[in-house]
Amino acid sequence: MQNWSAEPWTAPLTVHHLADYSLFGHPLYQRPALDGRLHWASTETATDHAGHIEGALAAGERAARAVLAATARTSDAGIDVAATGG
C-alpha cells in the first residue's frame, strides 16, 4: 500500500499553509445575487477552512441548502415550481 504522506511530491516539507485572506468567507459571499437566482459556492466563500477542499465542500452544501430553502419558500407562495422547471 502506498503511503502518500511520505512521498516528497505529494507532501513536501516546504508546503506552507495558505495565507489568511480577509475576504475569504466575507458575509457578502453568503448572500445570493441576481434577485436570489445566483448562490455563491466556492472555497473562497467558506467561513471555515477557506482555501481548502473542506471549505469548498462546506460552501457547496451551504449554497445547496439555501437554494432548497428558497425553492421551498417559492413553492409555499403558491407558485408551481414543477411547472416553472424548478
Q: What is the pLDDT of residues 11-65, one digit of tens each?
A: 666 656 656 677 888 888 888 899 888 999 999 999 888 888 999 999 999 999 9
Q: Give the structural domain span for 31.
A: 22-74
Handedness of CA 20, 23, 28, 30 (dihedral sign): negative
Q: How many domains does the chain have?
A: 1
Question: For residues 69, 73, 74 and 75, what is the CA-based torsion angle, rounded to 10 degrees?
Answer: 100
Higher-confidence position of 1 and 78: 1
- In the prediction, which pLDDT does 79 show? 54
Residue 5 lies in a domain: no
Tell me, yes or no, whether 27 lies in a domain. Answer: yes
pTM as predicted: 0.60
